[in-house]
Every structure is written in C-alpha cells, then in structure tokens.
Structure 1
Amino acid sequence: MSSPLSEPPRPELAVPPRPRFKLLGRRVGGPRSLWAWPLLLSLVFVAGVVAWMVRTDADEREARRAELISDALSLEAQLSGALDDETARLKALADDLAAHHTRPEAFVRQALLLDGLRRFWVSVTWVDAQGRIVAQVPDDKLPANAPLRAGSTDRGLAGHLSVALPNRGGLLVARYSSTNLLRQRVPWWLARKYDIRLVDSSDDVIAATVDGERLPDQLWYRKTMGPSMAQGWLELASRERQTPWWRTLPMALMGGFLLLVGAASWMLRRQMLAVERAEEAWRTEAAWRTAMEDSLAVGLRARDLDGRLVYVNKTMADMLGYQPEELIGVMPPMPYWLPDELDESMRRHLRNMAGQAPREGYESRWQHRDGRVLEVMIFEARLVDAQGRHIGWMASVLNITERKRLEERERRQADTMAHHSRLTMLGEVASTLAHELNQPLSAITSYNAGVLNALKRHPEPDSLLLGALQRLGEQAAHAGRIVKRIREFLTRREPQRERGDINQIVRAAVDLQRRDMNRHGVSLSLQLDRALPPVLVDPILVEQVAANLVRNACDALSTRPGVRSLHVMTTLAPDGRFVKVQVSDNGPGLGGQGIETLCAPFFSTKAEGMGMGLAICRSIVELHYGALDAEEAPGGGAVFSFTVPCWQDHDQEGEHDPSDDPMPADASISQDDSRP
C-alpha cells in the first residue's frame, strides 16, 4: 500500500525518434507486402481445411462402402437362409405326402402347404414322374379374389423351389413371391437404410423394396444369391446420399471466410498505404525538423521531471564537445558543470525544476569537454504532451562566450580610449610644462654661469662653493636636455641616436637613483662589462629606461624586510649584435605576471601609479630595435632586462629614416611603473 506522502507516478517523456532514411535506395523498415500475409495465411488455412475435407470425404465413402458390403453380405445370408428353410419345409411336405400316400384331393388340406401359402408361397404344384400336374394349390380356376390366390397379385417376379417326391416319383414345385420374401425377411432398419432389389443377370428387377430405378449418385453394391437363387443378384443402394465436399456447409463457410479475409486484406492494404504515406510525410517532416535543429545556432535540450536529459540536439552536443548519445539519460550533476561551481549549479537546477526559472532567461557558465569555459544564456519553458500533461522542461541554450568576449573587449577599448584621452591631455600638459620649464632652466643656467664667473674673478674663491655651483650648472644643463628630449619625444620627433657607452649610460641612470636607494636601504651591486662595444642609442631615452627599471626595483624592495639587494649588469647578447642590460632584485617577484601583462597600458599595482612606465620603456626599447623582458629570479625576486643594438662601422650618426621607427602617440616618460 503506497504512503500518502509518496509522489504520483510521473508520465514518461516521449521524444519522437530520429527519422530513418533510405540507404542505398532501400527503405529502412518492413516490406510493403505485409498486408497480404493475412490473406496468404488464410489461403493456406483454407487449403488445409479442403485437404482435410477431401480426405474425410474419401474416408467416409470408404467406410460407407465397407458398411454397405457388410450389410449386403449379411442380408444375402439371411435371404439364402430363408430360402433354404423354405426348401426344407417343402421337403417336409414332400416326405409327408410320400409317407401318408396323400391323394390329390387331400393335397390342398396339407398343413405345411397352407402354412407356406400364408408366408410368401404363391402356389405349390404337384407334378408326377411324367411331368403332369397332379394337383396345384391354388387352383387357376379359383376366382382372383379367393383367399388361396391372395399372394398371386403381388408385383414382381416369382421364384421357384422344387423337391423330389420320394418313392412316388415326381416333384413338388413351390412358386414364391420375391417381393414378399424381401418384405418378410429384410429387417426394417435395413429397409429404411437401403433400397433393396433382387435382379437377374440381365439387370431386370425381380423384386424391390422401392419403386423406380437406382439413381446414378447412389452408392450401391451387388452380391450373388448363390444356389438358392441361381442367376439372381442382391443389390443394396444406400439411401443416404453423400454430398460432395465442395457442396458442404464448411465449404460455404470457408468461401465466406475467404471473402471476408480478402475484403479485410484490401482494407488493410488501403490502411497500410495511408499509414505509409503518413509515415513518409512524418519522416520528411522529421527530417526537415532535424535539419533545421542541426542548422540552428541555438542548443536545445529536454529534461523530464527528475532532471534527466532525454533529448539533446547536435548544436548543443557540439557546443559542449560531446555526442548526443553521451548526454541522453544523464542525471545531475551534469558533466558540463564547472567543478568549482557544482553547489551553485545544483541550486539553479533545483530552482528550474521547481518552475522558478526567470522567464527572460538567465546566464550560466558551463565547461567544454576540453576544459574551456563557456558563457551561455538559457531560456526554460514547460514541456507538455498531447494530453496537456506537464512532463518536463525544454530549454534553448545560446553560446554567448564570444559576445561576452566582445563586450569585454569593447569595455577595455572604452577604458583605453578614456585613458588615451587623459594621456593626450597629459601629453599636452607635459609639452606645455617642458616649454615653460625651458626658460627657467635657461635662466638658472645663465645665473649660475654669471655667479661662477664672478666667483672666479674673486681673489680667493671658495673651492667648495665653486664645486657646488659647477654641479648645479651641470644638473641644470642635464635637466634642460631631458626636457628638450621629452618635448621632442612628445612631438613625435626622431630620437637623436648616437654612438655611446652603455656602461656610462647605466652609471648615469644609477646615479640618478642613489638617493632613493640610500633612503630605502638598498645595497647596489654593479657588474659592467668593460669589453662591451659601443651602442647606437639615444642616451637620454635609454638612460630613462634604465633609471625607471632601477626605480621600480627600489620601490619593490622598500616593502621587503631584511636584506635588500639590487644588482645591475651589462653584458653582450649571445648573437653579438646587441648589448643586454639586466636589473635584478630579491624583492617579492612578479607574482606570476608576464611581460605582456606588466607592459599593458594603465596596468599598475601602485596606488599612485599611472601604469604607463613600463609601457613607455618598452616602446623606447623597441624603437631602438631591442626587446624588454621580465622573469622570476631563481632565488626569489624579479629580473628585468632590455637590449639595444651595437654600433656598426657602417652606421653614421644622424643617418636614419624617421619613417622606419614611428613613435607611439601615447609615449611619455613617467617616474612610476607597474610592479606586482
């Protein structure tokens, strides 16, 4: 007995099968002649019945013939016995006449004679030895209606019995009625069963129990009567006429049965042709539907009320990297759910099974068979059968991974455009500042030169003051050159490449950052290869690249406890055509970031950083046909390196086509850089 809390049985979700198409011109399915099988089987059945009836009819005929022969033999024996008895009575009469010397006048009163006449004797004639009639009973002179002549009026031929008179000579001849013989000696049941005739050798009827001739279709049999009736034959013809088997009621029924089966087969054939046409139309429609489903860019799936997948179209299977057969029948958790989002996917599944899926659809994340993550948009709808019962859920699935990627790309492009706008504004401000700072720096240089000249004319100038003023003039001139090169860089002018010493450029960059290194407690280690060839670079720009890498290393080491070490090295690249500058530290490292990510515009891990330092450094290095790279240090920390080309003998200062090295519009020098 079911519990009151048990759920009612759920209807099966019936999904129409895929259509079966023609293969090599042959239909996949049963033969079209199935409708004829009932008719053929009926014909076989009727043929068997007919054979049985023919055999039964033959057996019945044989049995009736055997019975007829048996009855004929039995009746012949009875009639022969009756005639023998009559002959014995006639013999007794002859003996009695001989024993009592009966006179002809007393012959008519003989008891045996009268008894025989009462049976079927017609007359008895006493003939002497000379063949003369001694006495005859009944006498021919008696009237026809006399009692003694009653039996003489019977139709049919009479038979004769004769015996010799002992001692006196002569014969007693008894004429008997064959018809009465049959009436008295043939049993009633045999007379009702057969037409009985006594015939002679010429087929003339001697006596018969019926009038008329034997019919042609009657079953009959003849038996000779033997000595008691020489030249006589006993014929029995059966009154039961055996109807031919083809005229019997079973054959009529079989004929009607065949007609009904033929009509049913014809109707079945029409029905099968109609079904075949409908099936062909269904196959065509199903093929069209399948083709349309397979050509759609929308995935379709059907689930029953338990959440089991019962139908998946090819688009969805291809979307997930499976075959439809691999997904049909699968129960949650589904193989395309993300492993780290199983709980959330199960909650969403239970919500959908409860009919609470958003009508406007919802987004989800699935996993391709090869591990790729897919962004999908799902629209759920109720699935009902032909009776209107709710049997499951049908969902349309859109792959929006590319759309999401495009949206993200557009968002990044919008952010990039905004940053570019700000950068352009910043470039304009930096160009204006460079123009405005050029005059104060020129004034500082002029005033510093005037003060130096005045001090030098003093009889006893202070050497310490003169050294400070000289360094002030050098720094002001260097600042002026930096401002000039930055202005030229921002106005897309060609860098001033010249022959230079990479070690000297690196030392100048390190000297600019010594104050920051001392402030952060960073120990510097320089490993400069004195055998390096000269390089073809813009010293100011390359110096800014080296200085930016050293500054970034100092910023990264500022948060590290313990020993903070910085190592700067110059060496010749393996190909011998470039010089490599390497800056390594024992800081926190890159955190798994690559050079592409670190050099991405506006990417920065510093709160006050703009995220343009390494991007501009990379642009400067690539402008010199070099490469900027970054990697994790073996003992911890980061290693940044860049390469610049060596000076070749055929290189001439100032000879370079500016069109070969276009400057990016967003190039600028910043003291900030991204560093994880």
Structure 2
Amino acid sequence: MWAVPLGLSLLFVLGVVIWAQRNAHEEREELRRSLISDALSVEAQLRTRLDLEQALLRTLAAQLATAPRSAASLQASPYVSAGFRRLWIGLTWLDARNRIVAHLDNPDMPRDPHLGSEEDAAQPGLSAHLVAPVSTRTDATDGEVAHPHDVNSEKLVARYLPAGLLKRGTPWWITHKYNVRLVDVSEHVLATLEQPDTRWPRRDRTAQQDFTYRVLVGPGLPGTYLELALREPPSSWANNVPLVLVGGFLVLIVWATWLLRQQVRQVLQAESAWRTEAAWRGAMEDSALVGLRARDAQGRLIYVNRTFCEMVGRPADELVGRLPPMPYWPSDALDEAEQRSQRNLAGLAPREGYEAHWVHADGRRVDVMVFESPLVDASGRHIGWMGSMIDITQRKQLEERERHQAEAMAHQARLTTLGEVASALAHQLNQPLTVIASYNSGVLRMLERAGFDNDTVLNALRRQGEQVAEAGRIVQRIRGFLTRRAPQRERCDLPATLHRAVKLLQRDWRHQPVRIDWALPDTLPDVLADPVLIEQVTLNLVRNAIDAGLGAQRQPVQLRIQARAEASLRHVCVCVEDNGPGLQARTIEELTAPFYSTKAEGMGMGLAICRSVIEAHRGKLDAGASSELGGACFRFTLPIWNEP
C-alpha cells in the first residue's frame, strides 16, 4: 500500500511531461497552419487589390478610347484621381510606338523617388506597373478591341510602389504577429513591413525558418513572393512542467494519506454491509434485463434500476424515497392504482403478473406487465417487495395497428364496390343523356322549321342541349377515371376552365348573398390537364366553400379564386379561399379520407375524388387555415404545358 501512492505519483509526472510535450508540438503545428493560412489570406487580399487596380485602369482605358489624346483628357477623368488616392504614383499614356502621349504624376507623392516617404518605399526608386490597352479609331476597326499584348495598340501604364501595396493590403494584426516582406526570385527585398524588435534568440534563428512561409503573389507581380515570418518564438513546454509537477505531487501525497486512512474503515464497513446487500442484490440480478424496483413494507421506493427510470422518464433521485401515489400513475386513475398498490403490499398480487397503465414524464402512455416477489434480508425477514416490469407498449401498438389494418382493408373493399357502382351508374346514365340530347335537338329543329321565333324558348333549348352535352362529357370522363384510364390531358386554358366551372353554379346561389373575387393574371400560362375533370374539382371546392359560409350564416359569403405560376417548380397553383368557419384543426389527410364528410347529408367522396384527380395530373391538393378572408384555403397545382 505504501508503494501504490509513489507509483501513481511517478505515472502522473510522466503523464504530465508527455502531455506538455505533445501539447507544445500541437501548438507549433497549429502556429504553422495558422502561418500558412494567414499567408494565403494576405496574398489573396494583395491579388484582389491588384485586380481592382487593373479593373480601374481598364475602365479608364475604355473611357479614353473616344477622348482626345492629351494630358487634359487624363486629368479630367475621375478614375485618375481615384487611382492616385488608392495606389498609383504615376500614369503614362503610350501610343502604338511606345511614345508618350500624356503623363501624370501623383501630386501627393514627391517627384524624386529618393525623397519618398518611408512607409511607401522599401528601396529608392523601386516600383511596379500595371498595363491596360487603349482602343482607338487609329489602331482598331469598328467592333474590334485591341488585345493587351498587341504591340500596335496604345496602352496606359500605371506605376505604383510595392511597399504601398503591401502596407495597404496587409491587416494590422498580421504585421503585429509576423514580419511581412515581398521578395523576388533572387532574394531581393522589394518591400517589407518587418519590425525591428524581433524576439527570436540568436540560437533559434535556424528554428525560425520553420515558421517562415512564402507564397507566389500572382500575375499582378510576376516572380514575386509574399513572405511571412513569425515574430515571436512559440513557448516551450518545459517552462510549465515544474509547477505542474509540484502541484501534482502535493495533491497525490494528500490523496495517498487519505487513501491509507480510509482503507481500514472501508474494509470494516464492507464486511457488515456485504451480507444484507448480497441478499437483495441476488433477487435483482434474476431480472436484470427488465425494469426493477424495490419497495419496503410501506410501499416506499428504495431502489430502481436504469431500465425502470427510462420506462417512466424520471431520474432515480426523483423516485427513490417516494411513497404512493407515484408520479407515473395516471391522474385519472389514482384511486384504482392506489387500491392495486395496497393489494400488492398485502401479498395478494397475482403470481402470473398483471397489466398496468403508467404515464411517461413526457405525457405518453406506457403499458407494462408487472411481476411482484417478496424481498427478504440476510436473516430471512420479509422487508418489502421486489417488482419486475416488462414494457408491452409496442406489443399493444402492434395489436392496435393490426386492427386498423383490418379496418382499412374492409374500407378498401367498400371503396372498390363504390367504384364499381359509380362506373355502372355512369354507364347507365350515358344512354338517357344521349336520348335527352337527341330529343332536345329534334325539338329545336322542328321549332326552327315551323318558324317559331320566341328567342327565350329557343335559347333555353340551346342551353339545355349544351348542358346535356356537358353532362355527357362529365359522365364519360368520370367513367374513364373510375375504370383507371389516364385522364385525357391536353393544353388547357386554366382561367376559362375556372370561369366555366363557376358559371355552372351561378344559378344555385343567384338568390344568396355570395360574392366571388377573381385574381387571375393575364400572363398565366396554359396547363396540361383534363379540362372536364379540373372543372369538377373547381366546382366541388367552390360549392364546399359556399355551403360552409351559408351554414355558418356568414353575411355575405365571400370567395376569392386566384392563380399564380410557380416557374421554378413548373406548376400553376390555384387557390380557393373563403370567409367561412375554417378547417377547425382538421388536416388535409382527414378531409380527403373516403366517406368522411362535415355535411349532414354528405357522402364524403367529393374531396377524396378531387385529390385523386389532382394526383392523377401529377399535382398536389393541400389545405390550410391561412386565408386572408378568415376562413379556409384549398390549393391545388397543375403542370405547365410545354411546347412540343
């Protein structure tokens, strides 16, 4: 025991040394990565600044293409003063033979480069330049732009100091952390922002090369490198080890002394507690894979395992020590749960177990199967009850799901029967509609031949014929849809289709306070759809909205039919809004379920058929309570017709 603290102390010290060395290595690697990242960032800023200056020079050259060839043209351009304010120290206009047409110097710079300011010049007379072609009528034909490398084109040459570029394009925190220089391939320094108080010791000058990085600036400064060198050496890991070692030794010595003192006390306490603990631990181990709880004779919880805590969603600290009623009992069945608990504490729990309903902390219901067994101590005295719980919630849900599936299959069978009946009905209606159309046409021709000139009667017969024809078309399309034939999709004028559907309903509400507002843009594209089926969808939605508003006694009933093109989705969206009572928290899945209806005499098939029609057109039917009129809003989408 005396050797244990010493060995642990040595291991601790060794671990601290390894950690410090590894931490220092990672810090040096991080500094290296940061150096490379900062160098690339500064280089990108310099390149961007050169690109901006080159763009400014090209803009100026384009402006001078039609300007007089004189220094006054240069002086009058605002781009010249902008370039002088930014970076340029001189601007020269050369003709095709490289003769000077005009030249301007930056008025804020000394004319003698040897007298330039220290912040903008690393070496006397050192400068770089940018070139842009000037296209004129003398060196380029109409519509032709001179190439920048064409020796016969005029050009603008802007001179600038690399030191000024380096100073203006380098953030202050970079110069505070690094020595920044511009060097060429011959190691000549073009510009520098190097600080004189570099803190690298002379013996570490070689190590400083590991924290120096160069990157090629780019086409703006060919053959020029940006060099960043770390100004301060990274801290050495060996500087903090002594303090860590001393603190570690002090902690370990105190801990070792306390460990030796507690050792004897723990051995004595463990011997007295082992027998009692081994007895009830053995009972808990028999059902370790299920939820476990131990209760004393009064019903107080004295132990719960992790599975039990997960089952009720509460931590062990909240449960241990609690007396009935328990927080996981259902609030609407507390009396029943209390009676069952008293029965179990009296030893009357069924040996085959019993089902119970609990409530999880998040509010969901949990179904469990509970088994109770006596809990005895080392002397054989009965001290409580040990219970094991099995979560049967998933089994109950599976049984419920199977029941719903059986109901859904029966429901599908009814739908199939209904489809067959509807198909037969459509087939039977087709012949009487044909006969009505024939009789109507015959009566109309007989009246016309007889010279009957009552326009009201004749127009009524013509309208009757049109409506019969329309009814025949509807029956044929519905029959085709019910027999699983694809809709007869064609190029469809959607506004005309919507107006035609609403017109069919106008006679039904002409004596009712109903107002319909239209919001159909003139530029609405045509859609690819079956116009008859789309009329039926619109007619159903409009009739539902009117019935809902009249049933809620809204005065007046207001509807809005609007459409908009969604070019990104290649669809047209149609919205039917009303000022009725709204959806009342019902979802589109519930509203379009077959045989579900909110009307007292409704069959519950209207919206279901509408949804099937829209989905057959590769669209989507949706509903929401976001209408600006205060009621419901039904939306459906149709694909845009494309030119073949």
Cα 1:362/1:529, change in 2 over 3 Å:
farther
Q: CA RMSD in A?
A: 3.4
- Does 2:523 match 1:538? no
Summarize the alignment of residues 504-653 of structure 1 with structure 2, pairs less than 5 Å apart. Answer: 504-518=496-510, 521-575=513-567, 577-632=570-625, 633-634=627-628, 636-650=630-644
Cα 1:356/1:442, change in 2 over 3 Å:
farther
Cα 1:429/1:388, change in 2 over 3 Å:
farther
Asked if 2 retains the 8 angstrom alpha-carbon contact of 1:448 and 1:469, the reply is: yes
Q: Residue in 2 aligned with 1:485?
A: 477
Asked if 1 retains the 8 angstrom alpha-carbon contact of 2:280 and 2:375, the reply is: no
Superposition deviation, residue 484 in structure 1: 0.6
For these two proteins, the number of residue pairs brought into alignment is: 370
Asked if 2 retains the 8 angstrom alpha-carbon contact of 1:500 and 1:536, the reply is: yes
Distance 1:469 1:544 in 2: 24
Superposition deviation, residue 288 in structure 1: 8.6
Distance 1:555 1:347 in 2: 53
Distance 2:345 2:286 in 1: 28
Distance 1:587 1:362 in 2: 51
Structure 1: runs of 5+ lacking an equivalent: 1-271, 651-676
Q: 2:456 aligns with which of 458, 464, 467?
A: 464
Asked if 1 retains the 8 angstrom alpha-carbon contact of 2:292 and 2:304, the reply is: yes
Distance 2:587 2:479 in 1: 31
- Does 2:298 match 1:306? yes
Superposition deviation, residue 638 in structure 1: 0.9
Superposition deviation, residue 539 in structure 1: 0.8
Superposition deviation, residue 376 in structure 1: 1.1
Cα 1:582/1:344, change in 2 over 3 Å:
farther
Summarize the alignment of residues 355-366 of structure 1 with structure 2, pairs less than 5 Å apart. Answer: 362-366=354-358
Matching residue's letter, 1:648: N
Distance 2:506 2:621 in 1: 23
Distance 1:476 1:538 in 2: 19
Distance 1:358 1:623 in 2: 58
- Give TM-score scaled by structure 2 length: 0.52
Matching residue's letter, 1:594: T
Distance 2:296 2:523 in 1: 79
Distance 2:368 2:600 in 1: 37
Q: 1:421 aligns with which of 409, 413, 417?
A: 413
Distance 1:406 1:544 in 2: 40
Deviation sequence 1:316-370 (CA, Å, 0-9, x none): 223233454553322334333456665665565456556676776554443334x
Matching residue's letter, 2:638: V
Cα 1:556/1:388, change in 2 over 3 Å:
farther
Distance 1:611 1:364 in 2: 39
Q: Residue in 1 aligned with 2:368?
A: 377
Asked if 1 retains the 8 angstrom alpha-carbon contact of 2:548 and 2:580, the reply is: yes
Superposition deviation, residue 394 in structure 1: 3.8
Matching residue's letter, 1:439: Q
Cα 1:352/1:619, change in 2 over 3 Å:
farther
Matching residue's letter, 1:616: I
Summarize the alignment of residues 223-238 of structure 1 with structure 2, pairs less than 5 Å apart. Answer: none
Cα 1:589/1:361, change in 2 over 3 Å:
farther
Q: Residue in 1 aligned with 2:398?
A: 406
SS at the partner of 1:509?
Answer: helix
Q: Residue in 2 aligned with 1:258?
A: none
SS at the partner of 1:378?
Answer: strand
Superposition deviation, residue 546 in structure 1: 1.2
Deviation sequence 1:195-226 (CA, Å, 0-9, x none): xxxxxxxxxxxxxxxxxxxxxxxxxxxxxxxx
Distance 1:411 1:520 in 2: 46
SS at the partner of 2:470?
Answer: helix
Superposition deviation, residue 594 in structure 1: 2.5
Superposition deviation, residue 492 in structure 1: 0.7
Cα 1:455/1:537, change in 2 over 3 Å:
same
Deviation sequence 1:516-548 (CA, Å, 0-9, x none): 444664333333323211111111111111111
Q: 2:437 aligns with which of 434, 437, 445?
A: 445
Distance 1:518 1:396 in 2: 72
Structure 2: runs of 5+ lacking an equivalent: 1-266
Cα 1:606/1:574, change in 2 over 3 Å:
same
Matching residue's letter, 2:367: V
Distance 1:602 1:354 in 2: 53
Asked if 2 retains the 8 angstrom alpha-carbon contact of 1:506 and 1:543, the reply is: yes
Deviation sequence 1:591-617 (CA, Å, 0-9, x none): 222223323344433344343332332
Asked if 2 retains the 8 angstrom alpha-carbon contact of 1:536 and 1:645, the reply is: yes
SS at the partner of 1:513?
Answer: helix
Q: Residue in 2 aligned with 1:171?
A: none
Distance 2:283 2:549 in 1: 67
Distance 1:354 1:542 in 2: 71
Matching residue's letter, 2:364: V
Distance 2:643 2:477 in 1: 26
Distance 2:485 2:369 in 1: 55
Matching residue's letter, 1:535: V
SS at the partner of 2:287?
Answer: helix
- Give TM-score scaled by structure 1 length: 0.49
Q: Residue in 1 aligned with 2:145?
A: none
Cα 1:626/1:458, change in 2 over 3 Å:
same
SS at the partner of 1:558?
Answer: helix
SS at the partner of 2:498?
Answer: helix
Choose 601-610 or 396-405, whichever is displaced more: 601-610
Q: Residue in 2 aligned with 1:474?
A: 466
Distance 1:403 1:440 in 2: 56
Asked if 2 retains the 8 angstrom alpha-carbon contact of 1:434 and 1:486, the reply is: yes
Deviation sequence 1:40-95 (CA, Å, 0-9, x none): xxxxxxxxxxxxxxxxxxxxxxxxxxxxxxxxxxxxxxxxxxxxxxxxxxxxxxxx
Percent same amino acid at aligned positions? 52
Superposition deviation, residue 434 in structure 1: 1.0
Deviation sequence 1:466-499 (CA, Å, 0-9, x none): 1111111111111111111111111110110011
Asked if 1 retains the 8 angstrom alpha-carbon contact of 2:293 and 2:301, the reply is: yes
Distance 2:439 2:496 in 1: 29
Asked if 2 retains the 8 angstrom alpha-carbon contact of 1:302 and 1:394, the reply is: yes
Cα 1:601/1:349, change in 2 over 3 Å:
farther
Asked if 2 retains the 8 angstrom alpha-carbon contact of 1:337 and 1:365, the reply is: yes
Distance 2:643 2:609 in 1: 30
Deviation sequence 1:147-187 (CA, Å, 0-9, x none): xxxxxxxxxxxxxxxxxxxxxxxxxxxxxxxxxxxxxxxxx
Superposition deviation, residue 291 in structure 1: 6.2
Matching residue's letter, 1:639: C
Superposition deviation, residue 375 in structure 1: 2.6
Distance 1:572 1:415 in 2: 40
SS at the partner of 1:573?
Answer: strand
Quick check: which has more Rg, 1 or 2? 1
Superposition deviation, residue 454 in structure 1: 0.9
Cα 1:326/1:425, change in 2 over 3 Å:
same
